[in-house]
Amino acid sequence: QVQLVESGGGLVQPGGSLRLSCAASRSIFSTYVMSWYRQAPGKQRELVASITSVGMTNYVDSVKGRFTISRDKTKNTVYLQMTSLKSEDAAVYCCFGAFGSGDYWGQGTQVTVSS
C-alpha cells in the first residue's frame, strides 16, 4: 500500500498562486507516472499535469504556461505550482501515482479561486 497525502490547497484571489504538494509514503523513484487531477462540482475529473519516471511532463491545454509539475525524489513528493489562477481552476485537486504495486490516489485538496 502507498499513501498519497496532498496539501497546499486553500483560498486564493484570481491571479494568485498556490503550490500543492503530494507526499508519498514510499519512494517515488520507480513510479511510472505521477499526476495531478482536478474535479470541479458538476464536472468530470480532469487530468491536469503528469510527470513520468524520466521526468517528462504533460499538461492540459488550459494550464500550459501557468502550472508546473515537479518532483523531489529525496522527499518522495510531487508538486504542482499554480500561477495566474483563474476562477475556472477552482476544484478539488487529487494526486495520482502509478507504482509497481498498483495505482493510488490521494484524498484531495480544495482550491478555491475567488475575490
The C-alpha cell at 26 is 514510499
pLDDT in tens, 20-29: 999 999 888 7
Residue 38 has pLDDT above 80, yes or no: yes
pLDDT of residue 86: 97
Burial 30-67 (b: 16+ CB within 10 A, else e): ebeebbbbbeeeeeeeeebbbbeeeeeeebeeebeeeb
Question: How far apart are the C-alpha atoms of 71 and 77, rounded to whole Å?
Answer: 6
pLDDT in tens, 51-93: 998 999 999 999 999 999 999 999 999 999 999 999 999 999 9
Residue 31 has pLDDT above 80, yes or no: yes
pLDDT of residue 27: 86
pLDDT band at 30 (very low <50, low <70, confident <90, very high): confident
Contacts of residue 74, Cβ cutoff 8 Å, sequence gap at least 6 = none
Which amino acid is located at 62 in the chain? S
pLDDT band at 18 (very low <50, low <70, confident <90, very high): very high
